[in-house]
Structures are given as structure tokens and as C-alpha cells.
Structure 1
Amino acid sequence: MTNVNMHSQPHPSMIRDITLAKDGQLKIDWVEKHMPILNHVRKIFETEKPFAGKRITICLHLEAKTAYLAKVVQAGGAEVAVVASNPLSTQDDVVAALAAGGIHAYAWYGATDEEYKAHIQMALDFEPDAIIDDGGDLVSTLHQERPELIARILGGCEETTTGILRLRSLEKEQTLQFPMIAVNDAYCKYLFDNRYGTGQSVWDGIMRTTNLVVAGKTAVVVGYGWCGKGVAMRAKGLGANVVVCEIDPIKATEAIMDGFTVLPMIQAARIGDFFVTVTGNRDCIAEQHFVVMKDGAILANAGHFDVEINKVELKQLATSVRTVRKNIEEFTLEDGRCIYLLAEGRLVNLAAGDGHPAEVMDMTFALQALGLEYLVKQHEELDAKVYAVPAELDQLVAKLRLQSWGVEIDALTGEQLAYLNSWKE
């Protein structure tokens, strides 16, 4: 695969209001103070310039932590463009700060579908040499609509489970055109970001939006992957009675042994006060569930796309719909029951909150930055496949995390290594 170095002139940034940059920079400064691993990576990048002469397009949730990742990549010598992976998670002041700092930005809060797609196109008109994607929007658009750009793409990194499912599908069909690194599958991503990050940020988003108590209520968690584990764990810690809905018998068994009740969705729908979908699949909560829910049931989604709760069927059942608080829609049904949907069924932790804690995203975004460096350096040796994050990078991020806490761990002696590596002993 060859990389063409001649670039066209990129579009100017398309943002809401550049005068918001000062407020956005304060947010970025705050997370920088709490991301020591990424600070370590930045210092190396500033010296070695691994992305010199390269253009990188980043499609992620555009809030402060993502902004700092973009600045770290920029410090590595890259010309950087950013675009939103979700129109409701974009923070206009943060995007303005990036634009003021020389990063091309194409996003604003509440973009329509047409605007959102136009922003994606502008970010690709940037003619990137490599990408960071979240949910596969850049990869899908490149393969379906912008094939003329593929020859110059060295590859990229993917952030989420949903995006990796798309990449695996492309790889299985043998239509993936460049190598992609599955950052979501790294230990230092899913064990901490998916579990502790999602667990905390989902309930932060729900509680700040509703201002309601969780203790003593029934929380239904739909999906018991790593994100679902985190959501269930934090719900339990807040005092909720937790019910898990699953399709995988192994995960359902795990949920029971973790102390949770497991029920089919149709049964859980009758007793839940809070519902959180975390599956990556569509129609997990639909008409047959809405019709049996309690009056006052609250629905939230923590999966990448707004398809897990069937909004179309909910609206069809409603006799009236109104916004009762910011990010809360009230759907009144024919019998007078009300069901509440948070953040339009989009990612509740980002659309109605600030996303994962900075210390958690420090690990994930360090993996993104290091994975991107690996890809740019090794792309000639990589086929158009989905690759795991190299184990040594996963280990490095974990070591840096421990160092930032001042924690030391043991190391194997020579005799212990020999014992483990010999079948004779």
C-alpha cells in the first residue's frame, strides 16, 4: 500500500463559536492535570515527532479528554482534524479551543443528520494518512463513499465494541482496505474504561439529569458485557436492586454469581424503575416492553448508537410527547402512564454528562496514541486486517498507571522464569 504525500488544502474549521475557546481551554487544562500517562506519551512525541508530515483525522466524542488526545497527536508532528462521533456529545467550547489551537474542527452540538454527515465528509476531505475512529463512521464512509481516498490511508485505530463489530464484518467479507487496530479489545481499555468508566459515567449522567434517588429502586441493565458489568456494579453500590437481561448463557451465569437477578426483558420490563441498555444491538427495548412498564419508568442508553431503545415505536404508542427537563422527554401513553427517555436515547453518559473520568480515559487514549504510532511506523508490514493492540503497549500503559500512583510490584526471579518456561520442572 502506498501513501501519497501531496495533500489538498483542507476546509476551514466548521464550528459553532470561536469566542468560546477560552472556556474550552480551561476544560482541557483540567483534564491534562489528571492524565499523567498521556502526559508521558506527549513528552516522547514532542521529542521524536512520530507523525511528522502526516495528517490524522480523529472521530471521537468531542469533549475535553478527546481534545487533549488530539493535542498529544498534534505534538507528535501531525496535522490534525477532529469530527464528532455523536452530535449530542460535542462540547462547543472544547471544539472552539481546538480550532484556536491549530486543529481543524468540524462539529457542533446538536448537529442534524445532514450536518453530521457533512462534517464527516469535510474531515475526510482533509485527506488523512491515518485515522482514529469511534463506531466505524470514518471507516464506513471511506469504504462506501470515498474510495478515492483509500490508497493514501495507512490505517487506523478503533475505539469501541460497535466499531470493531463493523471492522470484523468487513474483514470477514475480505473488503477491509487497510489495517485497523482494535483498541477496545486491549486489556487496559475494556477492563477499566468499559467497566469503571462506563459504570461511573452512566449513573452520573442519569442522576444529574433526573435528580432522582437510585437507592431502593430496581435498575434493569440490558447486556452484561464489560460495560454492563460496570453499570450493574455501580447501580448496586448506589443501593439499587439490579436485574440483568442477557442472551448469552455464560454471561447470564456470571451475572447470577455476581449477585444479580437475571430475567427475560419482558419480565424485567414490568418491575424496572431505571433501564440502561448496553448491548450494541437494536430494539433491545421495544413496543412489547413499553406496554407493560410502570408509570414513571426511566429509559437510558449507554450503547454507541441510538437504536437500542426503539424510539419510533415509543412515539407511536404515545398520545403526547414533551420535554420536561433538559435531556428528558416524557411520553404519555393512552392509559395515562408516562415513560421517560433520557438524551434522545443517545449515549447518556456523554449526551447528558461529561463522559468517563479523566483518569480512566488516560489509559484508553494512551493506547490510542501509542497504537497510532505503532501503525504509522509498522504499516508496511501490516495487511488489511483487524489487529490487536501489541501486548507490550498494553503492559506499558498499565506500568505507567501504577507509576502515576506510586505503586511498585514484584518481578520474577531468574529461577522463577526458568521454572515457568521449562516443562521438566
Structure 2
Amino acid sequence: MSEILEIAKKILENHCLCDNCFGRQFANLGYGLSNAERGKTLKNILTFEAHNKILNEDKKGVEFLKKISVNGMFEPAKNTLKKLGYTLKIEERKCELCNGKLQELDLMVKEALKKIGDYEFNSFLVGAKIPEKIIEAEDSLRAKYGVKWGETIKSEFTREIGKILTRLTGKHVDYKKPDVVFTFDPFNNKVDFQVNPLFIGGRYRKLVTGIPQSKWVCRKCKGVGCDYCGGTGKMYPESVQEIIEAPILKLSFGEKTEFHASGREDIDAKVLGNGRPFIIEVKNPKKRNIDLKIVEEEINKSGKVEVLNLYFTDKENVRKIKSLEGAKKVYHVIVKVEDKTITDEDLKKIEEKFSDITIKQQTPRRVLHRRSDKVRTKHVYRVETKKISPEKFELKIECQGGLYIKELVDGDGGRTKPNIAETLQKKLKCLELTVLDINV
């Protein structure tokens, strides 16, 4: 008898194992077989061996056939004994490793699908909680009999449940980016599920000033609602995020969103041109296959925010979007000279001084409440100027992302160096700021 059959025989002589748990001890032998098929195959071969011994008048054959019938819970062995005229009273037994749970997987999966109810998903991943005592019992069995071909009981549970889920739903397993993660606790008859966020990307234009990029919680009440915020819990009644999220939450039945963008503009700045790249993350969505064309149309009706080229994406691209904060940007600025007038010589000086120059900016005073106080180095590639009136002029600034434009203009009390106000020796104020282009 081969090493494999000898080990299989010893295991069944001493342990009550179902087809799955018996076959799992030999999981790495052969391909295209389930563990249940491996277990049945080995039990059949051992039944043949025992039957052959009986035919050769070896009494050990009867005893082993009884072991296969009882410990293997194997009908062909029972039928063989009966055919040979042996009676055997067998009390109903359960597998000492899985306790029969591997034969109840269809029922478990159907219960899980009832629980997930109306949630829509295209992909899934399965996890399983296995009691430590069962893992230790299987490890002990393998050490005792020198089993070297097995896999873990957890692997079998998750794989076989995954097969059933695919068969019943038509959905596929995704090990990296599943829509839903099921966690089965078969030994306590429990199942939980986690719905992963839905990610939608695109670009937005902010057509008006006066609205922040994301929800701005009231600094007084922290979102509870107070007299300062008029009971809204917010500093501003709406934001780019809220305008974009409204139709998405309505169609996806999501709970809330997080907004990710490649940088942010000031409340009093517009974003035009090709728009700012963003990804909106929808928490706990019930529907995932929503029509992005409808979403786009609904958002663009607002007259305040427009979105372009919406697409489904994933968490990995959130990191990429955020890494683009330093990408090259183009701004249009209207500046007022508050104490003097602007001359053609001034404009020429700006263009010469602020082309291909490095700027050192200490965190602006206006954002110190939310940003760490440190010096940042940014680059200005080119500046174009145009006179509007004796007191006003416009700038087109091409620079590295993250540069504070207002402070480049007014100097922020010397915290930005060099700056345009200091260069001209004039007091300047930024009247309008528009993001024209974000190169990514």
C-alpha cells in the first residue's frame, strides 16, 4: 500500500471525518478536484482494499470496512458490509473537525443573501472565522500522521462558499477590490457583510464664488447646530461636495460621502477651464450600477457647479488624485492697486521678476487655524500681465500647485518672498481669482 493510502487508512481508523475534511488532508495532490471528491475517492479505494481482504478471508478486512462505515460515514462501505451479510448498528455521527458545517454551506449562503437584501454588488470576497480549537485539532492530526499535503479548513470554507455565491448570483470573486466582503462564522451560525464604498471620479468647474469645496462644519457647535450657524451645523449652506453628492446619494441610496480632489480653491475663487480632478467616495451604497449621465445632468442643472466626464473608479485612484496637488496650475487674477496707480513699467517688472522663479511661502495667516506653520517652496513658471485701468490689472500665472496666489500678490506681511507687492513697492489686493487649468 502506498504512503498516501497508508496514512489515509490510519486516519480513518482513529478519526471520524466527512469527505471534505478527509480529502482536505490531501488537498495539494491532483488538480481539478474538490476536497469532497478527494475524500470520496480515497474512501472508495480503502473500501476496495477492505473488500479484497474479506474475499481473501482476511478478518482484518471486516474490521476496517466497519471503520470506514462508521468513521468515514461512508454509504458504499455500509452497503458492501450489508451485501456480504454483516449487520452494523451505527449511531448518527458528525465530523470531528467541521461538525457537519461543510455540508450546510448552501443554506449558509442563502441566509447571507437574504441578509444582504437590496444591496447591489458585482464582485465579492469571502472571509471565515474558525475556532482556534478546530485549527489546533487539525494541526495535531497532521503532525501525528505525517500529513504533508493539506490545506487549512478556513481556505476550504471560503473557497467553497465563494463557488456557491457565484453559482447563485452570477457575481465574481475579487481579491483586491470587492464590492462586498462576507464574513461567515459557520460554527456560530452567523454571517456579516461589509459593503465597500463606491468611487466616482471626474472633473468639476466651480462657476460661482462664495461656496467652499467641501462641507464646512460650524466651528462653534461642531455640526450640532447653534445660533452662530443658524441651526444648520455648517459655516456655509452648500458646497461643491454637497452639490455633486446630492443626485449620487439619491440614486445609490448611500449614507454619506467623502470628497477627494487634487488641491482646493478658496471660497471666493472660481474653477473654470478643464476643471479640477476629483473623486467622490459614497459610503454604504445600496445601488452601484447608477447612470452617470443622469448624475452629470442633475449636477449641471445647479448653475453653480458643472462636472465633466464622470467615471467609476477605485480607492487606489484616490491616492493618485491627492498626489496631483502639486501639479502645474494656471490662474487668472484681477488685482487692485490700493494706494497708487499701475504703470507699464510695473507690469514689465512683474513679468521679468516672476518668470521661472522659486517662491518661499510661510503658511498664510488666514489658514493658520487649519494648516501647520511652516515654509513651503513653490515654483512660478511664467506670469503674463494686462492693464485694465490705472488702478487695476490682471495676471495669468502658471505655477506649481499648492502656491497661495493671494499671498504671492499681497505678500502676507512678508511671509511670502518674493511677492509682487514688495517688488512694486505698492499695496495690492486680489479682487478675483479663477483657476483656469490644472495639468495632470
TM-score category of the 2 structures, normalised to the smaller one: under 0.3
Greater radius of gyration (CA)? 2
TM-score (normalizing by structure 1): 0.21
Greater share of strand: 2
RCO (CA 8 Å, sep 6+): is it higher in 1 or 2?
1
